[in-house]
Amino acid sequence: MVGKYSPVFGGANLVGGYNQVMGTTSDVEPVGVPAGNFSEWLRGAEVSLRSGKGGTAVPCGDCTACCRSSMFIHIKPEETQTIQRIPRALLFPAPGLPEGHVLMGYSDNGHCPMLVDNKCSIYEYRPQTCRSYDCRVFTATGVPVDQQIQSEIAHRVNAWVFNYESEESRKEHMVLKDAAAFLRKNGDLFPHGSLPTHPAQLAALAVRIYSVFADATAKMNNGASAMSDAVIAQAIMTALNEPETLSK
């Protein structure tokens, strides 16, 4: 196993769920890969993040980019069937997490060791982390993927194309991107260490606080006094500290 630990899949689950049996990654340039209806994706992503279990089907097709992008996989102690099917030599304690939480590293070529002949060899028992990963979150939020480290994922992210059932759906997408941009620009307005630095986790956070940010934007558009960035940041922190607010 190689590489520096980065909690790509640690902490809160990312949005979505893996439902395609993984096959080979095509070398053909994917142009305009359908990502689904944006508003439906957003609602499903919000529910997935609240439940922490994933659930939105990702139309992966034959793409295995996330299995080939040098990522550590977080596996929780209750995922006993998954742990039983992974050689113990491939697992090590997850830094900063309680005993029993483990990580699975990757091979010298950056591939998941469970990827055999370009297919997941434990697909039926794959980690919850893998079930929950959805690279459309980058396309949806505009948070960039590291082109050098995760070029295959970046390739797929650039190919996704959402469709919109209405102008309101397009506006929702614009607001989500604005929410992500707000987090990236105003990190100094939040308590130190409260915002994730990893792109995947930051993109997931943008989805979580979408409704709070959208409410603030709507109030200003309806004639309310303009809110300072500091006030919006405080509203976001309040919502994050009161999970029931985000679940409404």
32 and 87 part of one domain: yes
Q: Is the dihedral of CA 53, 81, 69, 103 positive or negative?
A: positive
114 and 23 part of one domain: yes
Residues of the chain falling short of pLDDT 70:
1-31, 52-56, 221-226, 243-248
Q: Is the dihedral of CA 92, 94, 95, 96 positive or negative?
A: negative
199 and 102 part of one domain: no
Q: Which residues constitute the domain of residue 70?
A: 17-161
Q: What is the pLDDT of residue 220?
A: 73
Could you read off the pLDDT of 185-228 as tens digits, one per residue? 999 999 999 999 999 999 999 999 999 999 988 887 665 566 78
pTM recorded for the entire structure = 0.82
Residue 219, both tokens: 């109030």
Chain position carrying tokens 């190689």 = 2
What b/e readout covers 93-120, taking b as 16+ CB neighbours within 10 angstroms?
Answer: ebeebeeebbbbbbeeebbbbbbeeeeb
Residue 67 lies in a domain: yes
Residue 173 lies in a domain: yes
Domain boundary among 161, 190, 209: 161
Could you read off the pLDDT of 12-29 as tens digits, one per residue? 344 433 333 333 444 554
136 and 173 part of one domain: no
65 and 156 part of one domain: yes
Residue 2 lies in a domain: no
Q: What is the pLDDT of residue 149?
A: 87
Q: What is the pLDDT of residue 248?
A: 53
Residue 197 lies in a domain: yes
Q: What is the pLDDT of residue 50?
A: 79
| Count of the separate structural domains present in the chain | 2
Helices (H), the chain: 38-51, 80-84, 128-132, 136-141, 151-159, 167-185, 199-208, 210-221, 229-241, 243-246
Q: What is the pLDDT of residue 81?
A: 97
Q: What is the pLDDT of residue 23?
A: 39
Domain boundary among 136, 161, 186: 161
C-beta of residue 172 within 8 angstroms of C-beta of residue 207: no
Q: What is the pLDDT of residue 159?
A: 96
3-state secondary structure of 220: helix
Residue 8 lies in a domain: no
152 and 174 part of one domain: no
157 and 170 part of one domain: no
Domain boundary among 161, 184, 201: 161
C-beta of residue 83 within 8 angstroms of C-beta of residue 102: yes
89 and 157 part of one domain: yes
81 and 202 part of one domain: no
31 and 113 part of one domain: yes
